[in-house]
């Protein structure tokens, strides 16, 4: 049932996103039909063709109105129907295939990605098949067109169609390229950010700090680690609920992030445990930073749902030395120091003593 509900929500969000800019998509053929209508009226002096395109312009506009009143699915098919009528009329009855208007059908398989959602695979496929059949019908149409144009006029219309199609394809590829880049950025953030606290997750921490550790070893530079654990955090969840506990974690993470140095790497290590990597920082400097953070957290009053909560934190500090051969070993040293801080009564900072 949960999976079904999730699928329904995803479909609803997808449809809502499509509806939000459908008016813009439908507006493009409306304007094109209006421009062609003016072209036929004033340049070709063909009132019938101009009237036909103006009626199609109104038809495209009606799809915007239908979509506005919440009938998005009907609006999409109405848009497709008017487009088919418009292109078949121009490419067969009015000007014939030589005008090149039927080449606009080649845009329909691309346009379905704008008009229909990813879930509507059958609709996308149907439009693509219909557009292909219509293109072939118009391309091989043998009837005599109603409007006889000169060769220069025919060539002009054909070239205009090709240029319009090329620009439409370029605009579409630009749109999809930007969309893919945005989704890649979102996936990167999902893979590297902790969703609750919006700071680095454990994976991102190791990805960044492994290089820091390698550089520190190669250049013989100092590197310190602070392991931080909120004291008695379980009581917050037990007494006030997990919603309050989640808020406390997020609030604490943002508070620490605001007071970290720009070069430090801060992440949620797991549960109520956080970790900070401090490049080019000695053990004494790291201890001073940890004490400052400990005092900051102890003095912070967290307000939520008329509650006022205060928390303390225990911290373990370790520094890279010749006896440490890996980042995991350095973190393990800080973790041992954290355990000692817990054993000493919490709300304190303990430094790992190098052997």
* Catalytic annotation, pick one of 45, 272, 284, 329: 272
Amino acid 169: pLDDT:
87
Q: Of the CATH numbers 1.10.10.10, 3.30.70.270, 3.40.50.10860, 3.30.360.10, which one belongs to the domain with range 202-351?
A: 3.30.70.270
Between residues 72 and 261, the one the model is more confident about: 261
Query: Which residue pairs from 69-73 have beta carbons closer than 8 angstroms and sit at least 24 positions apart in sequence?
Result: 72/15, 72/18, 72/19, 72/22
The mean pLDDT value of the chain amounts to 89
Three-state DSSP class for 315? strand
CA distance 265 to 280: 12
CA distance 31 to 291: 66
Mean pLDDT of 108-136: 89
The pLDDT of residue 10 is above 80 = no
Dihedrals phi, psi of 105, to nearest 5 degrees? -60, -25
The pLDDT of residue 244 is above 60 = yes
Amino acid 332: pLDDT:
96
Q: Among 286, 319, 315, 281, which residue's Cα sits nearest to residue 298? A: 315
The pLDDT of residue 326 is above 90 = yes
Amino acid 235: pLDDT:
95
pLDDT-based confidence at residue 17 (cuts at 50, 70, 90) = low
Domains of the chain: which residue ranges?
2-191, 202-351
Q: What are the tens digits of pLDDT across the range 192-231?
A: 999 999 999 999 999 999 999 999 999 989 999 999 999 9
DSSP state of 323: T
CA 117-119-123 angle, to 5 degrees, is 70
The pLDDT of residue 290 is above 90 = yes
Q: What are the tens digits of pLDDT across the range 141-196?
A: 988 888 887 888 888 888 888 898 898 888 888 888 888 888 888 888 888 999 99
CA 65-70-72 angle, to 5 degrees, is 80
Q: Based on the residue annotation, tell me whether 144 is a catalytic residue of this protein.
A: no
DSSP state of 200: B
């Amino acid at each position: 049932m949960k999976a079904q509900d999730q699928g329904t929500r995803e479909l609803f969000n997808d449809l809502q996103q499509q509806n939000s800019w459908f008016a813009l998509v439908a507006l493009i053929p409306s304007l094109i039909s209006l421009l062609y209508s003016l072209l036929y009226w004033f340049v070709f002096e063909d009132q019938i063709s101009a009237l036909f395109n103006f009626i199609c312009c109104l038809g495209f506009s009606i799809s915007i109105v239908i979509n506005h009143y919440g009938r998005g699915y009907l609006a999409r098919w109405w848009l497709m129907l008017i487009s088919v009528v418009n292109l078949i009329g121009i490419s067969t009855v009015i000007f014939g295939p030589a005008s090149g208007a039927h080449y606009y059908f080649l845009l329909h398989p691309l346009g379905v990605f704008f008009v229909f959602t990813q879930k509507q695979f059958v609709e996308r496929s149907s439009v693509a098949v219909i557009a292909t059949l219509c293109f072939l019908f118009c391309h091989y149409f043998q009837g005599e067109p109603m409007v006889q144009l000169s060769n220069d006029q025919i060539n002009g219309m054909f070239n205009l169609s090709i240029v319009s199609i090329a620009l439409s394809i370029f605009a579409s590829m630009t749109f999809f390229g930007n969309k893919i880049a945005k989704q890649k950025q979102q996936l990167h953030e999902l893979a590297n950010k902790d969703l609750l606290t919006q700071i680095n997750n454990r994976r991102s921490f190791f990805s960044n700090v492994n290089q820091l550790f390698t550089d520190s070893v190669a250049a013989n530079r100092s590197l310190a680690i602070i392991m931080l654990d909120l004291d008695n955090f379980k009581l917050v969840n037990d007494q006030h609920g997990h919603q309050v506990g989640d808020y406390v974690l997020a609030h604490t993470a943002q508070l620490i992030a605001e007071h970290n140095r720009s070069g430090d790497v801060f992440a949620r290590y797991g549960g109520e445990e956080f970790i900070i990597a401090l490049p080019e920082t000695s053990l004494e400097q790291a201890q001073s930073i940890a004490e400052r953070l400990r005092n900051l957290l102890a003095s912070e009053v967290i307000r939520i749902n008329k509650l006022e909560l205060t928390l303390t934190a225990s911290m373990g500090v370790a520094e890279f030395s010749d006896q440490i051969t890996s980042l995991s070993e350095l973190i393990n040293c800080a973790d041992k120091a954290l355990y000692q801080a817990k054993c000493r009564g919490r709300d304190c900072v303990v430094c790992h003593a190098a052997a």
